[in-house]
Amino acid sequence: MRRVSVSIETEKVQSEQIEIALPGTGTKTFRPGITAREALTELTGPLPPEVFAVRIDGQPGDLSAPLNRNATLEPVTFASEDGKEIYRHSSTHIMAQAVKDVFPSANLTIGPAIHEGFYYDFSFERPFTPEDLEKIEARAHEIIQENYAVRRLEMSKEDAINLFREKEEAFKVEIIEQIEDDVVSLYQQGNFIDLCRGPHVGATGQVKAFKLLSAAGAYWRGDERNPMLQRIYGTSFPTQAELDAHLEKLEEIKRRDHRKLGKELDLFSSPEDTGPGLILWHPKGALVRLLIENFWRESHVQNGYELIYSPHVARLDLWKTSGHVDYYKENMFTPMTVEAGEYQLKPMNCPFHIMVYKSHLRSYRELPIRYGELGTVYRYERSGVLHGLMRVRGFTQDDAHIFCRPDQIESEVRKVLDFTMFVLRRFGFTEFALYLSTRPEKAVGAVEKWDQATEALEAALKNSGFPYEIDPGEGVFYGPKIDLKIHDVLGRAWQCSTVQIDFNNPERFGLSYIGEDGAAHQPIMIHRALMGSLERFFGILIEHYAGAFPTWLAPVQAIVLPITDKQAEYASLVKDRLAGTGLRASMDLRKEKVGLKIREAEKAKIPYMLVVGDREREAESVSVRKRSGTNVGTLPISEVIDLIRQDMPTEPLTGSSVH
């Protein structure tokens, strides 16, 4: 193999002595070139084994990194988010080394750490089988036991290209060719070397509990026009106990998978014949959706919103004016031609709401105007990313747009936040995380207006008292936003709610209102969604409740189960009594044993099972059993109705005081 120039990462020595600080410990003077590990050891004593990396002035780095300037150090462990990323990215290198050892013809592509795990994509002649994963995992455990030192190397871009060409790693060559820097970094452990920015653990033996999970296909760079790769997923933890707990959580996630439960409970489907990413709502699922929609509409009217409806298509020019053609085109379906004009399936509802606003001359006294719509939109998503209800091509947004004066922004955003919390809590979510997303690279509008909008959002967040984080560069192209993530019963975070400030569209569409001074002024537009999309929110609800919806959302709230045919007439009377009070009741008149009927009702997640035999018929009562398996006992029908109603929410529909 051709000799290449390799050197350990260094920095220009700036002085004869440098000062290294450790928060809470103090500062010491060292010679330039001392490693982060040596400096930490001098400052704290021998490093505990759980420390495997370091932050140098807040930036993650290798313990072997040389220090040539004054710096502040912080030890990194698995407890921190950057620690988890370093640990799992190091794990993905262990997996890649194992794959190359077991299947030398496999080619390397990329292998990042992801939430609670990692993956690596390989170019291989066939999909990896479960037997392959067993062999790879066994080799990975050997690599961990062999405890190879992990070394960071630097070389010129040209030498790196030659290195990977000689290794016949074409994907690595392609990646390096697109790097702008003249020098690139690599990491080596044993005979394995990979292109990588790092940092990494110091030795493979620092990764303790390691597990491969699954294999799947993935296109190179996520583009179906590129070669199909083989992706292997895995995870790793510092202890076997933590890994075991995580694996149990994964099993629980599988049990709660909305696609599996959606089929078992007959809630929805997405048959190939209708097209990928297009959902059919079955009667039970449609009933739950109706309950969600009814709550949504009633609460919005109570909170000062006016409801509107808009078409599914519009002239393409509308989307040119809004900026979607310029900034969102890759997510839009191909326009259709109608009578020599171009029409577009709507990817968003906002231009229609703007046109409703424009239909009248507006006064400052009318503002704020709040329009709400359950509007179905269509977005092109690549087939590889479609996922049940969570990622679809046609979905209904719980959309609303608020047109207000600049002095009303903060108060309106606060009301939206209060309303959002009220709605999400009604569905059983109590833990939230809020993020303020700022101007992205690809944005429209003056920086001054972006700053004004961002300041208004941040002021609303601060005054609301909700804790939040800054998410730099993650705003939409027309303005900054607040994103709210809910945490489900398994602790997973889901992006649902969003509040976005838009100075751009009011300007593009020439919106105005007559101010108190008699002159025309431009309103501010606030885009907001509370649940996001009904499809995705429904999928989250299924997994949050494992299909056992709260009683107010359950498609069937109670089922009457006669023991024999002799109680069929009485069972029908009980069902009608419940239905007459507005409860959703059914009955099972099959000639089956009541034990089987109970088991099937529990499997169907029906909250209440009402068993009736001769004694219940004679006493005009029922024997009540909950889906949890609890036997409530025998109660008169009127008390059963009261019992079920106790499970129903009674609080008012207003989430904040709106005037």
Between the CA of residue 232 and those of 183, 261, 385, 614, what are the distances in Å?
30, 26, 17, 60
Residue of 37, 152, 231, 481 with catalytic role:
481
Element (H, E) at 319: helix 316-322
Q: How far is Cα 351 from Cα 328, in angstroms, rounded to an integer?
A: 14
Say if CB 95 and CB 120 are below 8 A apart.
yes
300 is catalytic: no
Three-state DSSP string of 367-391: CCEEEEEEEEEECCCCHHHCECCCE
Tokens of 384: 């590889």
Say if CB 445 and CB 504 are below 8 A apart.
yes
* Three-class secondary structure of residue 448 per DSSP: helix
Sign of the CA dihedral running 472, 477, 482, 488: negative
Residue of 159, 399, 483, 588 with catalytic role:
399
481 is catalytic: yes
How remote is the C-alpha of 520 from its chain's centroid? 42
Beta-bridged to residue 73, according to DSSP, are 56
Cβ neighbours of residue 615 under 8 Å, at least 6 residues apart?
A: 634
Q: How far is Cα 23 from Cα 72, in angstroms, rounded to an integer?
A: 7
399 is catalytic: yes
397 is catalytic: yes
Residue of 196, 350, 404, 496 with catalytic role:
350
527 is catalytic: yes
Residue of 93, 324, 527, 575 with catalytic role:
527
Looking only at the bridges linking them, the beta strands covering 18-22 and 520-521 are unpaired
* Three-class secondary structure of residue 277 per DSSP: coil
Between the CA of residue 624 and those of 562, 574, 609, what are the distances in Å?
12, 12, 6
Residue 361: other Cβ atoms inside 10 A: 10
Residue 106: other Cβ atoms inside 10 A: 20
Residue 523 one-letter amino acid: P
Between the CA of residue 463 and those of 19, 370, 434, what are the distances in Å?
41, 22, 14
350 is catalytic: yes
* Three-class secondary structure of residue 563 per DSSP: coil
Between the CA of residue 419 and those of 109, 315, 425, 436, 650, what are the distances in Å?
46, 34, 10, 18, 17
Residue of 97, 397, 408, 567 with catalytic role:
397
From 564, 603, 602, 610, select the one nearest 583 (Cα to Cα): 610
From 541, 539, 542, select the one nearest 387 (Cα to Cα): 539
Q: Which residue has the tokens 């009220």?
A: 422
Cβ neighbours of residue 258 under 8 Å, at least 6 residues apart?
A: 388, 389, 390, 538, 539, 540, 542, 543
496 is catalytic: no
Say if CB 499 and CB 481 are below 8 A apart.
yes
Residue of 88, 379, 544, 575 with catalytic role:
379
> Which contacts (CB < 8 Å, 24+ apart) does range 332-341 have?
332/379, 332/380, 333/378, 333/379, 333/380, 341/315, 341/316
Residue of 37, 231, 370, 401 with catalytic role:
401
Active site residues: 350, 379, 397, 399, 401, 481, 527
